[in-house]
Amino acid sequence: MSKNMMNWISDLFPLCRSLTGLGTQKTLSYFEKINPELKRISFKTGEKVFDWEIPKQWNIKDAYIEHENGNRYAEFSKSNLHVVGYSSPIDKIISKNELFRHIYTQADQPDLIPFVASYYENNWGFCISENEKNNLPDGNYRVFINSELVDGVLELSHAFIKGINDKEIFFSSYICHPSMANDNLSGPAVLNAILKFVKEEFDNLRYSYRFVLLPETIGSIAFLSKYSEELKKKLIAGFNLTCVGDERAYSHIKTRAGNTLADNALSAALIDLDNVITYSFLKRGSDERQYCSPGINLPVCGFSRSKYEEFPEYHTSADNLNLITQKGLEGSFSIIKNIILAFEQGLYPQTKVLCEPQLGKRGLYPNIGQKDKYDKIKTRWDFLAYADGKTNIFEIAKLINKPLKEVNDEHQLLKTYGLV
Ligand code: ZN
């Protein structure tokens, strides 16, 4: 199921997504076909959600800058990053000076087009590379943006998979960025692979699972305005997935509390991997801001490969399909898979015998006790030593400092032998 992630991302890459609008709707429809459990929830323009108001719906068809000699620049049809997100419509001849007041570049990365949006102010603008800006000829320019800001809807997709237990594990990702890959199509792709895994892998789920795809910030605020009371009762661990497609690092953005079940689960799943970076809540930037806010206070941490704001291609045209890999996406998928397996195998393993079980008579111990053989079964011993029914599987992994996958395998084996 995780094999398709790169294909999904390639299919969706060209669409112009934003908080609202056609590209965003098409993106949600695409994933709803893959996982029909995902159901659309709409909020109308003007609707109050906590301290915010649902904005107008933004639709865009075309845009460009045209010099009086006929040469075109910043053509939307070549890259949707060329238009500032939520630009109001315009069709006007202006001077180069005035044009420059509406042009955004990334001066320290002069070849790249930056991603810029201006959601909550009436504004318009174009994004081009610093080099292109410096080469714009003198003269007048026609600025053309064929967009509309209308009363419409802000939409998100929501899936709930019921398990035996009411307690639920939660996954959130956002779908509001135009053509960029790591931030942000990687997150929705991994989330959908996880959703498929959860519904296809288990006959009887021990826990319930909830998934949301939404526009960042306003989408999670709108979602929480409907579901926060339910989530406060049921959610025991949640993960905001973003920038999960490259191979350079594994990042854990801690919850506000810093030591929730979600934090423990993720840090256990990252044991022994290369280049693991743990960020405090002070480095938050995505929807964990809303999920962890005072009064909401859900145990939702952030998971990324290279974290947003920390990789050089972030929010530029260089965050493209070359930056992410199937291997990078699968690495992220398997971290979450191991966390889900840990939950489903039982969060609080408890040994069924008093004192150490005799492993030898079950074939679980080398026949000859010699010191170099001990290392191989150290994980088994250590697991059993902490399997007291009170220490959760993630804490056990951290106490014995073994990767969650290895601890899960040991747990499964000892269950097979009836020892836990
Ligand atoms: Zn972003």
> Do 162 and 213 sit in the same domain of this protein?
yes
183 Cα to the center of ligand 1, angstroms: 5
397 Cα to the center of ligand 1, angstroms: 32
Question: Is residue 351, in this structure, part of any structural domain at all?
Answer: no
Report pLDDT digits (tens) over 190-248: 999 999 999 999 999 999 999 999 999 999 999 999 999 999 999 999 999 999 999 99
> Do 48 and 64 sit in the same domain of this protein?
no
Report pLDDT digits (tens) over 303-357: 999 999 999 999 999 999 999 999 999 999 999 999 999 999 999 999 999 999 9
Quote the CA–CA distance of 215 and 371 in Å, as a whole number: 56
> Do 248 and 326 sit in the same domain of this protein?
yes
Show the tokens assigned to 253.
């953005």
Q: What is the mean pLDDT of the chain?
A: 96
The boundaries of the domain holding residue 173 are: 2-54+154-345
Confidence band of 369 (pLDDT split at 50, 70, 90): low
Quote the CA–CA distance of 157 and 71 in Å, as a whole number: 41
Question: Is residue 350, in this structure, part of any structural domain at all?
Answer: no
Question: Is residue 354, in this structure, part of any structural domain at all?
Answer: no
> Do 115 and 174 sit in the same domain of this protein?
no
> Do 399 and 315 sit in the same domain of this protein?
no
Question: Is residue 352, in this structure, part of any structural domain at all?
Answer: no
> Do 190 and 295 sit in the same domain of this protein?
yes
Low-confidence winner among 69-78, 92-101, 125-134, 376-385 (lowest mean pLDDT): 376-385
The last residue of a domain, from among 282, 316, 345: 345
Domains in the chain: how many in total? 3
**Burial of 406: CB neighbours in 10 Å, binned 0-12, 13-18, 19+:** middle
138 Cα to the center of ligand 1, angstroms: 34
CATH number at residue 118: 3.50.30.90
> Do 197 and 118 sit in the same domain of this protein?
no
315 Cα to the center of ligand 1, angstroms: 6
pLDDT at position 145:
98
Quote the CA–CA distance of 420 and 211 in Å, as a whole number: 31
> Do 330 and 364 sit in the same domain of this protein?
no
User: What are φ and ψ of residue 12, in 5° steps?
Assistant: -90, -15
216 Cα to the center of ligand 1, angstroms: 8
The closest alpha carbon to 205, from 214, 215, 195, belongs to: 195
288 Cα to the center of ligand 1, angstroms: 13
pLDDT above 90 for 377: no
Question: Is residue 218, in this structure, part of any structural domain at all?
Answer: yes
Low-confidence winner among 244-248, 269-273, 278-282, 376-380 (lowest mean pLDDT): 376-380
> Do 285 and 296 sit in the same domain of this protein?
yes
SS3 43: strand
pLDDT at position 153:
98
Across 254-279, average pLDDT: 98
> Do 158 and 243 sit in the same domain of this protein?
yes
60 Cα to the center of ligand 1, angstroms: 20
pLDDT at position 366:
76
> Do 45 and 87 sit in the same domain of this protein?
no
CA 288-292-294 angle, 5° bins: 145
178 Cα to the center of ligand 1, angstroms: 10
Report pLDDT digits (tens) over 104-135: 999 999 999 999 999 988 999 999 999 999 99
